[in-house]
A and B are shown apart, each in its own frame.
Chain A
Amino acid sequence: MKAATLRNYLSVHTWTGILAGTLLFIAFYAGALSMFVPEITHWSRAEPARNNASQDGDALVAAFFAAHPSIENATLVLPSESNTAPLMRWGPRGTTPQQVELDAQGQLRPVAAPAGEAGRFVDYLHRKGGLPLALDSAEPVIGLIALLYALALISGVVVLLPSLVKDLFVLRIGRNAKRMWLDLHNLLGVASLPFHVVMALSAAVFCLHDWIYAAQGTLIYPQGLRSVTARTQPQRPPVTLDRTAWRNPTQLVRDAAHAVPGFSASAIEYRGLGTPKASAFMAGTDDAHFKRRPREGFAVLDPATGALVQNNAAPGQGSAMARAVVSFFALHFGSYGGMPVRLLYAVLGVMGAMLFYTGNVLWIESRSKRLRQRPGVMEQPRHVRAIAAINLGASLGCVAGISLALVAARWLGATPLAPDTVLHSTYYATFTACLAWALVRGAQQATVGLLAFAALATALIPLTSAIIPLVASLAPWAQVLDKPYTNGLAWVDGLSVAGAALLAATAWITHRQTGRHRSTPTSQTDFATPALN
């Protein structure tokens, strides 16, 4: 390939990377954590005691239908590690739902619904790249960022191709900082390239699908998109309105397991209640197949007969096209293979965040190095210093902000403060403070402090788990914060210990390196950009 062509692709890679890098760091770090959304929610919220709640889901649904005949949509949530007894949930999307359970006497009684979910907060940070906007406004921005990211990946591979074999497994740690960052960036990028290709393209679809459908409706479907979707509606006989003649939840769960082998139900959402089109959207897991959502696939059943009426989102079912669509979702969500794949995705997500951090550092190093060669230039220009500070402050601000938000939500769970307010204000206050600190002090001076702060904030998660049972036994107000220790909580604490240890070790190494180079002026040191890896 011509040198000029390579140079052009390097420019494309550099500019797409620097434009998208910081938002992508946040999207990837929060995305890595979003592999544990239910566990994070369970960890951080105060959960009401469900004393003497009935385990009879069939009776619960029957009592609910009798008490609320005019509600159109309602979901039966089956018992799980984070839900000790079946409950019925309903309410408009985007509002705090209402919930009921059955008491030991078979009477419906309300269950306080959580006003905010920390897992969902982390997932939204991931989907918005941390932008403080409504999801609808942030998604097109992230969609365009994802397209830039796709271009950065392709151009990066083109640039690396000529020296791929020579450079790939070489990590030259030494006095040439740029060389070291480049080796690390290449290794991270190539090692996880398929993962990144999947993420870039699927994220673009998730954020821009409305626009793409609209354009396709005009350009490739002569009668418009609506005519295309209309012909795909499954035809089925009307469902009887007499709900007492319907299959009960236990029977529906059995019907689904029969129609979809390996399917293990976790919730049944009744849709279209009171209409002849009523259906039971059953969410369930099956780790042997790709799933449409992060944890679940769906089997749609006729609630009266238990017949499977739609299988295109059921794990391992459906046409070749349906399986292709489900695989696109599952490859983004890591929803196959269970916990080992979730852990792998979390590691790949953090590696992705590091890829963007190292990419930004390379941009800073290249400019610093170029300027250092000019006579009379003693320090980095203002825009390079600003990018370095933003890269550092936003990255570590995101890490520390998420950790502190979870800890604050857990400790303030017993107060009247809305959990969503606690999560948002703690995250954005921490993020802004870290960013401001990096900008005021400069990346060089702020690194060790911010790393140590992020390590401490993350260590507060397992410390909270350790301290709350002690406090709960002493102070009555803290009793609602305590909960039985489950596997899910152990994952949150265990991964936080690992994260805090990694951050603390990096802070220590960076501190020693900075000490060694302190005698050298900033503009001349080869470690002008502090190590953060």
Chain B
Amino acid sequence: MAATKTHKTVRQSPPLDLLHHGLVAALLAMPLAIWLSGALVYHAPWAADSLNDISTYQVTMWAVPPLWATVVSLAFLAPSKRVLWAALLTGNALVWGLLRAVQA
């Protein structure tokens, strides 16, 4: 058991993997967070009455950093590079679809 553990620590290089995870997540979380901000705030059904309000598009902008940070933080749960890419690309596609659906 102990031997396996040591073996794993030697073979994996967590900082490098994490750098890849971090950079990919930081990049792909951007469009995701922006589409999500549009879907959840500006184009959401509950904001329909406040589109002429100067503050609505400001709140939509304020929503981006918390959404971005949440997505990037969750990305470190992805056990491999393949899962990470798949999850983020699927997430982007789903959120883009959601935005299109609420805009329609």
Query: Is chain B a partner of chain A in the same complex?
Result: yes
- Residues of chain A having any CB pair with chain B under 8 Å: 5, 7-9, 11-12, 15, 146-147, 150-151, 154-155, 158, 200-201, 204-205, 208-209, 212-213, 215-216, 219-222, 225, 228-229, 231-232, 312, 318-322, 324-325, 328
Quick one: which of B22, B65, B72, B76 has the most chain A CB within 10 A? B65
Residues of the A chain whose Cβ atoms lie less than 8 Å from the Cβ of B26: 147
Mark out the residues of chain B between 58 and 82 whose CB falls within 8 Å of any chain A CB in the assembled complex: 58-62, 64-66, 68-70, 72-73, 76-77
* Contact yes or no, B65 A201, CB < 8 A: yes
A12-B18, A12-B22, A205-B62 known; A220 and B35 CB under 8 Å? yes
* Contact yes or no, B62 A322, CB < 8 A: no
| 16 sample A-B contacts, Cβ–Cβ < 8 Å, listed by A number | A12-B18, A147-B68, A150-B69, A151-B22, A154-B69, A154-B73, A201-B65, A201-B69, A205-B62, A215-B31, A216-B34, A216-B57, A220-B60, A229-B54, A232-B54, A320-B50
Given contacts A147-B69, A322-B53, 14 further A-B contacts (CB under 8 A): A8-B14, A8-B18, A151-B22, A155-B76, A213-B61, A215-B34, A216-B61, A216-B64, A221-B38, A229-B54, A231-B52, A232-B53, A312-B53, A312-B55
Contact mask for chain B residues 9-48; partner A; CB cutoff 8 A; 1 contact, 0 none: 0000011001000100010001100110110001100010
* Contact yes or no, B69 A220, CB < 8 A: no
Q: Which of A205, A220, A328 contacts B99 (CB 8 A)?
A: A220
The 5 closest A-B pairs by CB, nearest first: A220-B38, A321-B55, A232-B54, A150-B69, A204-B65
Q: Which of B55, B59, B65 contacts A147 (CB 8 A)?
A: B65
Distance in angstroms between the alpha carbons of A318 and B59 in the assembled complex: 14
Distance in angstroms between the alpha carbons of A322 and B55 in the assembled complex: 5
| A13 shortest CB reach to chain B, Å | 10
Distance in angstroms between the alpha carbons of A274 and B62 in the assembled complex: 35
Task: Give the size category of B's interface with A.
Answer: 35 or more
Q: Is the interface of B mostly helix, strand, loop or mixed?
A: helix
| B92 shortest CB reach to chain A, Å | 11
Distance in angstroms between the alpha carbons of A229 and B52 in the assembled complex: 8
* Contact yes or no, A232 B57, CB < 8 A: yes
* Contact yes or no, A151 B69, CB < 8 A: yes
| B12 shortest CB reach to chain A, Å | 9
Residues of the A chain whose Cβ atoms lie less than 8 Å from the Cβ of B73: 151, 154-155, 158
Residues of the A chain whose Cβ atoms lie less than 8 Å from the Cβ of B77: 5
Query: B68's closest neighbor in chain A, by CB?
Result: A147
Q: Is the interface of A mostly helix, strand, loop or mixed?
A: helix
Distance in angstroms between the alpha carbons of A447 and B40 in the assembled complex: 51
Q: Which of B35, B59, B65, B70 contacts A325 (CB 8 A)?
A: B59
A154-B69, A212-B34, A220-B43 known; A11 and B53 CB under 8 Å? no
A212-B34, A220-B38 known; A11 and B61 CB under 8 Å? no
Query: B77's closest neighbor in chain A, by CB?
Result: A5
Q: Which of B42, B59, B99 contacts A324 (CB 8 A)?
A: B59
| A315 shortest CB reach to chain B, Å | 15
A11-B18, A15-B15, A155-B76 known; A208 and B30 CB under 8 Å? no
Residues of the A chain whose Cβ atoms lie less than 8 Å from the Cβ of B70: 154
* Contact yes or no, A216 B18, CB < 8 A: no
Residues of the B chain whose Cβ atoms lie less than 8 Å from the Cβ of A222: 103
* Contact yes or no, B76 A8, CB < 8 A: yes
Query: B38's closest neighbor in chain A, by CB?
Result: A220
| A310 shortest CB reach to chain B, Å | 8
| A311 shortest CB reach to chain B, Å | 11
* Contact yes or no, B18 A319, CB < 8 A: no
Distance in angstroms between the alpha carbons of A146 and B66 in the assembled complex: 11
A215-B30, A216-B37, A220-B99 known; A11 and B15 CB under 8 Å? yes
Residues of the B chain whose Cβ atoms lie less than 8 Å from the Cβ of A204: 65
* Contact yes or no, A212 B72, CB < 8 A: no
A201-B69, A208-B65, A325-B62 known; A319 and B76 CB under 8 Å? no
* Contact yes or no, B14 A325, CB < 8 A: no
| A73 shortest CB reach to chain B, Å | 21
The answer to whether B89 has its CB under 8 Å from any CB of chain A is: no
Q: Which of A15, A208, A220, A232 contacts B52 (CB 8 A)?
A: A232
Query: A328's closest neighbor in chain B, by CB?
Result: B62
Query: A8's closest neighbor in chain B, by CB?
Result: B76
Q: Which of B14, B50, B66, B68 contacts A7 (CB 8 A)?
A: B14
Distance in angstroms between the alpha carbons of A208 and B30 in the assembled complex: 12
A8-B14, A215-B30 known; A229 and B69 CB under 8 Å? no
* Contact yes or no, A321 B56, CB < 8 A: yes
Q: Which of B35, B52, B68 contacts A219 (CB 8 A)?
A: B35
The answer to whether B93 has its CB under 8 Å from any CB of chain A is: no
Distance in angstroms between the alpha carbons of A205 and B56 in the assembled complex: 15
Residues of the A chain whose Cβ atoms lie less than 8 Å from the Cβ of B52: 231-232
* Contact yes or no, A216 B65, CB < 8 A: no
Query: A218's closest neighbor in chain B, by CB?
Result: B34
Residues of the B chain whose Cβ atoms lie less than 8 Å from the Cβ of A154: 69-70, 73
